[in-house]
Amino acid sequence: MIDTICCLVGVMPVVRMAITPPEESYLTELPVDSPTTSVRILALCDLGTHSRGILEIRPPGDELQSVVRFLESREAIVSGEVLYAGTDIGLIQYTTWEPIVYFAALEAGATPVFPVEVRNGQLLIEGLMSYNRLSRFEEALEAIDASCDIRLIKQSSNVDTIKQSFDVDDLLTARQQQFILEAIEHGYYDTPRQCTLTELAESLDVTKGAASSLLHRAEERIVKEFVASLSGKSVEM
């Protein structure tokens, strides 16, 4: 239903997610220790029997050769080499047999968006994706023992508005986020409903009235933000 609405009004959801690859993935253990170092996958090209990617490391420091040696030690990697080593940026080209997260995106009918940031063993991705394709992508990730943490979903009619997206932390308080997530987990928003408001309040150790008030305020902000993003007009929160 939501996909149909999006098509009618000419919008597409902006999705921001953090993907945790399978434990054996070479992306989860890159030997980049400095918290100030940025690692991104700039591109990944399917060459039929294998795929070729480019890693960007900023600043490269002394880590380029150690990253290449690490990549070449993994079974999934065919080869790796330093393409460029500068003061501020380093580029590594690598060839792999199995970019499984990339293939999962293709299987779901989603177009992979680059660059992809690699941080703390996760792939941070942001781009346009329909709700149906997002659901298929999550299923494809689950099939390869990867997980996906959705950080943001926002309607957008223009790719240029991606950078103007609201983060969930800007929309809801931490307490409101907790209640909404607990309500979803307990099936409060399922049809038919899997738990009552009283049961939800008990699981959160609050009164029924407090639970009702918190959920109502959170729902109000979510609905108003959704309507504002569709109409392009601000709605009083």
Among 123, 149, 164, the domain-final residue is: 164
The count of other CB atoms within 10 Å of the CB of residue 37 is 16
Give yes or no for residue 108 having a pLDDT over 80: no
Tally of domains in the chain: 2
Q: What percent of the chain has pLDDT over 90?
A: 8
In a shared domain, residues 155 and 173: no
The count of other CB atoms within 10 Å of the CB of residue 33 is 9
Q: Give the model confidence (pLDDT) of 46-93 as tens digits.
A: 787 788 999 999 887 777 888 888 888 888 888 999 999 988 899 999
Domain region containing 172: 168-231
How far is C-alpha 69 from the geometric centre of its chain's CA atoms? 28
Assessment of whether the complete model's pTM goes beyond 0.75: no
Give yes or no for residue 165 having a pLDDT over 50: no
* Domain contains 37: yes
In a shared domain, residues 156 and 183: no
Contact in structure between 83 and 56 (CB atoms under 8 Å): no
* Domain contains 39: yes
Give yes or no for residue 162 having a pLDDT over 60: no
* Domain contains 4: no
* Domain contains 16: yes
Amino acid 15: pLDDT: 79
- CATH number, domain containing residue 184: 1.10.10
* Domain contains 3: no
* Domain contains 237: no
In a shared domain, residues 82 and 181: no
How far is C-alpha 90 from the geometric centre of its chain's CA atoms? 25
Among 135, 164, 193, the domain-final residue is: 164
pLDDT band at 171 (very low <50, low <70, confident <90, very high): low
Record the tokens describing residue 205, joined without a space.
């150790």
In a shared domain, residues 158 and 176: no
Q: Give the model confidence (pLDDT) of 22-50 as tens digits.
A: 876 777 778 876 677 888 999 888 787 78
In a shared domain, residues 204 and 135: no
